[in-house]
Amino acid sequence: MVSHPESSNHPHNELTALIRTQQLTFQAAGTDAPILDALSLRIQAGERVGIIGPSGSGKTTLALHLTGLHHVALLGHTSGHLWLNGRDSTTSGCEGFAGVVLQNPEIQLFGETVEEEVSLSLQQRTGDFDREHELDRCLNLLGLGELRGQRVATLSLGWKQRLSVASMLALAPKVLLLDEPTSYLDEATADMLFDVLAAQAEHTGLTVLLIEHDLPRLLPWASRLLALQQGRIVFDGPPAAYSSPSPRFIEPAGAIATPLSPTGAERLLSVEGVSFAYNGQGAVLENVSLSAAPGEIVALVGPNGSGKSTLLNLIKGLLEPDDGKIICASPSLRMDAVGLVFQNPDSQLFAHSVFEECSFLPRNQNFPPHEITSRTRHALTQVGLQSHAERVPFSLSYGEKRRLTLASTLSGRSTILCLDEPTVGLDRECLAQVAGILRQVSAQGGAVLLATHDHAFVEAVATRVVSLRAGHIVDDAAPHGGAV
Amino acid sequence: MTRAWWTKLHLLTRLALFLIVCLHAALGREFLPQLLLFCGLFLLLFACGAAGPHARLLLWAHLVGLPATVLLFLAIGYETARSWSEALSWGLVEALRYALRLECLFLANLVFIGITSPQEIISLFSRRWIPPAVGTLLSTAVRFLPLSLTETRRIYDIQRCRGLRLRPWAPRTCLPIIVPLFVSQMCRAHDTSVMLVVRRMDMGTRCASPRKFGLVDSLVLGLGLATCMPMLF
């Protein structure tokens, strides 16, 4: 990805303000504190606005207001003033003004094929335009021209996200909001997406609002940065003037976690010549061999569809390999010896208290009652949630929920901890906490495997980086490139 | 790749055949035709590739429930005749008839769902005689079905990782699946409704036209209706 020039529009020209807010305040139903607290700002056409801030700071709430979708997407009361495209939209919103690309592309796609998906947007678009030309333009812009006849269900997440952007561009909105669009994307696809957005802003005057935690990618791209903290704007200006408050992670991996036995007989996990294919489809993994020793933090990296998550599912035992074998040194069953933490906490929380939620695994692993209690308490202390033991899990913040899912895996008897995209949606404070927990697990003699696209996180915590491409291991090295 | 004959049928023909089969299953009085219908549907389920893991799981769950059906009929028979021998002879026959009807209806549903893609159903909702808002609502509901199945599977896998063991006789063991499924479906419904507004589909979608009604459709439909005549008159 390249650094992009400043927007040609003057940022404080009131006459050209596409979006204007004055003392904009939003209070969610049933809460006392406002989520947005008297925000005033102006945004011109063609600006590339990066919105940053910790979880719960009001980024998404602000963005939904700025796109005129607050009246359909939020439950609460908006006060102050909001003008979108010169129209007072404080209470009524402004439908058709903006396009939105969410983190998860799965729910945004409605068509059967790639071409039909973009065509559906073109059918909803008003005004005179050459439909065929626009269809080709939108598809080619995102590199989807070759896939126009392909079924949407068969696309990888990266391609689905490209398609959701193409569908939004086909609507020809004045503003495009993207809420953490790169969470599921590999580096190359994320860079390509940022380049496309910058080009659209430059050539068509599209205003882009982008919520993103990945500052190294966001800062060179944005023409303006908005930083939020507890519903207030704490920084509004050019990204070059923004100084990051603290380093992203506390200390590099080598300082604490050193593999205790990288090549010796004390391997906790051995994956030997494993191949796997989903029913009736091509091989996802072919002849993959990998081992993990106590104390190692192994990062699995690679583009979308390279087989990282499938490998974790195979190691956990959710899938069985077509060929090869997976051996755990632990005397317990592989399902018990390997803990797998999934990305979305809402897909697993169900209990009435944090303690109950965290004790679900040890109870199912038939530990005696006193040990269930001690293991649960220890796991909650490890992730810093011991004071929240009696709270309802659904009332926790997103970062706390993610730590709870980690605790509810740590409370079991697993010696190998696997994490699928552990950094998605986490702000820097949460990332630092997760990094600390992983180092702690590794220091206690466990092995950690994590599948991620976040290279900064990998460099900070991993002791080894395994690169996968098209189902093969293409590299196995230390985080900075040194051979293992 | 050659397409199977049932995919060449018009959606309305398939729907009509499905209703005819349901009519036979519900109203048929003879045991042998019902048995033949059951066997035919069972073979068709595998022939049309509709016997996926979910379908097989549902089918087995249904068959496992059969002993309960038999017990129910035995109890009803005993209540009526006050004799176990009569209750046994009457109850077993009636339970078998009832189970056969139920399985035929169940298999007919699986076959219909198996040979009809959600997109075909959605295309039917985008007809001019259906108000756009109703069409959008119905087609969104249909889109939810495959996504919900995938989501259920995903949540089940997550809870398996946490040691979940489902016990059908203990409904509480299903809570770790039901609660997250409900939450995720609510979130998905919210996000989908926002996306429908963003995509301006709240005023109705226009999908590709469904296939035209052809001669084969007329013939198949005529034959299906002819089989209903003896039953109705």
For A63-100, the three-class secondary structure string (H helix, E strand, C coil) is HHHHCCCHHHHCCEEEEEEEEECCEECCCCCCCCCEEE
Beta carbons of A107 and B199 less than 8 Å apart: no
Residue B165 has its nearest CB partner, among A96, A339, A364, at: A364
Residue percentage of chain B with pLDDT more than 70: 79
**C-alpha angle with apex A133: A130 to A138, nearest 5 degrees?**
120
Residue position matching structure tokens 């169940």: B106
Beta carbons of B162 and A348 less than 8 Å apart: yes
Picking from A101, A110, A320, A417 by the largest number of B CB atoms within 10 A of its own CB, the best residue to mutate is A110
Enumerate residues 6+ apart whose C-beta is below 8 A from A279. none
Q: What is the pLDDT of residue A256?
A: 43
Does residue A200 contact residue A169 with C-beta atoms inside 8 Å? yes
Q: What is the pLDDT of residue A407?
A: 94
> How is chain B split into domains, by residue range?
5-121+211-232, 131-203
Pick the CATH number of A14-241 from 2.30.30.240, 3.40.50.300, 3.40.50.1980, 3.30.310.40: 3.40.50.300
Q: What is the pLDDT of residue A285?
A: 92
Tell me how far apart the alpha carbons of residues A91 and A286 are, in angstroms, rounded to a whole number: 56
Q: What is the pLDDT of residue A257?
A: 44
Q: What is the pLDDT of residue A427?
A: 78
Tell me how far apart the alpha carbons of residues B156 and B170 are, in angstroms, rounded to a whole number: 16
Q: How far is A263 from chain B (nearest CA, A)?
A: 28
Q: Please write the tens of the pLDDT for every residue from A155-210.
A: 777 788 889 999 999 999 999 999 888 877 788 888 888 999 999 998 888 999 99
Residue A112 has its nearest CB partner, among B119, B162, B180, at: B119
With cut-offs at 50, 70 and 90, classify the pLDDT of residue A131: confident
Beta carbons of B162 and A409 less than 8 Å apart: yes
Highest-scoring range by mean pLDDT, A104-108, A242-246, B117-121: A104-108
> How is chain A split into domains, by residue range?
14-241, 253-477
Position A196, amino acid: V
Q: How far is A422 from chain B (nearest CA, A)?
A: 15
Q: Which fold has domain A253-477?
A: Rossmann fold (3.40.50)
Beta carbons of A340 and B161 less than 8 Å apart: yes
Tell me how far apart the alpha carbons of residues A464 and A470 are, in angstroms, rounded to a whole number: 20
Q: What is the pLDDT of residue A280?
A: 61
Q: Which range is least confidently modeled, A368-372, B52-56, B85-89? A: B52-56
Q: Is A123 on the interface with B (CB under 8 A)?
A: yes
Q: What is the pLDDT of residue B202?
A: 59
Does residue A112 contact residue A152 with C-beta atoms inside 8 Å? yes
Averaged pLDDT of chain B: 78
Chain B, residues 111-150, CB within 8 A of chain A, namely 117, 119, 143, 147
Q: How far is A350 from chain B (nearest CA, A)?
A: 5
Q: Please write the tens of the pLDDT for every residue from B124-141.
A: 766 667 776 677 677 677
Q: Please write the tens of the pLDDT for every residue from A235-245.
A: 999 998 887 66
Task: Report the candidate in A415, A414, A418, A409 with the shortest Cα–Cα distance to residue A361.
Answer: A409
Q: How far is B178 from chain A (nearest CA, A)?
A: 8
Chain A, residues 348-377, CB within 8 A of chain B, namely 348-350, 360-361, 363-365
Examine the pLDDT at A7 and tell me if it is beyond 50. no
Q: How far is CA B123 from CA A11, B60, B189, in A?
A: 46, 32, 21
With cut-offs at 50, 70 and 90, classify the pLDDT of residue B212: low
Name chain B contacts of A335, Cβ cutoff 8 Å. Answer: 160-161, 163
Q: What is the pLDDT of residue A235?
A: 92
Q: Please write the tens of the pLDDT for every residue from A142-157.
A: 889 888 888 777 777 7
Q: Please write the tens of the pLDDT for every residue from A42-53.
A: 999 999 999 998
Question: What is the average per-residue pLDDT within B63-71?
Answer: 80
**Of A253 and A300, more confident:** A300
Tell me how far apart the alpha carbons of residues B95 and B101 are, in angstroms, rounded to a whole number: 10
Region at A31 (left for phi over 0; alpha for psi -120 to 50; beta for the rest): beta
Region at A58 (left for phi over 0; alpha for psi -120 to 50; beta for the rest): left
Question: What is the average per-residue pLDDT within A211-228?
Answer: 90
Question: What is the average per-residue pLDDT within A17-42?
Answer: 88
Q: How far is A197 from chain B (nearest CA, A)?
A: 18
Tell me how far apart the alpha carbons of residues A313 and A204 are, in angstroms, rounded to a whole number: 44
Q: Is B204 on the interface with A (CB under 8 A)?
A: no
Does residue A299 contact residue A452 with C-beta atoms inside 8 Å? yes
Question: What is the average per-residue pLDDT within A220-227?
Answer: 93
Question: What is the average per-residue pLDDT within B73-101?
Answer: 84
Are A14-241 and A253-477 in the same CATH fold?
Answer: yes
Q: What's the DSSP call for residue B208? A: P
| Cα R_g (chain A), whole angstroms | 24
Residue A361 has its nearest CB partner, among B147, B162, B191, at: B162
Q: Is B174 on the interface with A (CB under 8 A)?
A: no
Q: Which two tokens stand for residue A145?
A: 């021209």
Q: What is the pLDDT of residue A455?
A: 84
Question: What is the average per-residue pLDDT within B100-109?
Answer: 86
Question: What is the average per-residue pLDDT within A223-242?
Answer: 92
Tell me how far apart the alpha carbons of residues A388 and A263 are, in angstroms, rounded to a whole number: 41
Beta carbons of B160 and A107 less than 8 Å apart: no
Name chain A contacts of B155, Cβ cutoff 8 Å. Answer: 347-348
Burial A115-150 (b: 16+ CB within 10 A, else e): bbbbbbbbbbeeeeeeeeebbebbbebbebeebbee
